[in-house]
Structures are given as structure tokens and as C-alpha cells.
Amino acid sequence: MTETQHTRSTTPTGLVALAWALVGLPLAYGLYQTISTASNLFTG
């Protein structure tokens, strides 16, 4: 069984987007905070 045999996705796109948002948003928060701290290396 390959995806070519079942080209129509049965997974709601909204669920995929929600799942990525749930992990992406905290990660973005962490990245932003860490880059802010790391910038002290060049300004501190």
C-alpha cells in the first residue's frame, strides 16, 4: 500500500495545522527568548 494508491488524505488539514501550532508556538517562544539572551553576547 502506498500513498499513490490512496491519494486522498483522510487526516483533517486542521488537525495537522493544530498539532504543528501546539508544538511550534512554544518552540517559537523559546527561540525568541534564547535569541534575546544570546544577543547579550554581542551587546553585553
Partner 1 sequence: MAVPSFLARERIIARPGFNRWLIPPAALAVHLCIGQAYATSVYKTALVADFDSSLTAIGIVFSIAIVMLGLSAALFGTWVDRNGPRAAMFVSACFWSVGFLVGAAGIATDQLWLLYLGYGVIGGIGLGIGYISPVSTLIKWFPDRPGLATGMAIMGFGGGALIATPLSRQLMGWYDPAYDGTAATVASGDAVAKLFVTLGLVYLVFMLFGAFIVRVPAEGWKPAGFDPSTVKAKALITTNSVSAANAIKTPQFWLLWVVLFCNVTAGIGILEQASPMIQDFFRENGTSTVAVAAAAGFVGLLSLFNMGGRFVWSSTSDYIGRKPIYMVYLGVGLVLYVLLATVGSTATWLFVILAALIISFYGGGFATAPAYLRDLFGTYQVGAIHGRLLTAWAAAGVAGPLIVNRVLDAQGTPGELVAGDYRPALFIMVGLLAVGFVANLLIKPVAAKWHEAKADAIFTDTTPETSAVR
CB of 17 to partner 1, least distance (A): 10
Burial 3-35 (b: 16+ CB within 10 A, else e): eeeeeeeeeeeeeeeeeeeeeeeeeeeeeeeee
CB of 24 to partner 1, least distance (A): 8
User: Which x/- pattern over 2-41 shows residues binding partner 1 (rule: CB under 8 A)?
Assistant: xxxxxxxxxx-x-xx--xx-xxx-xx-xxx-xxx-xxxxx
Which residue ranges make up the site for partner 1 (CB under 8 A)? 1-11, 13, 15-16, 19-20, 22-24, 26-27, 29-31, 33-35, 37-42, 44
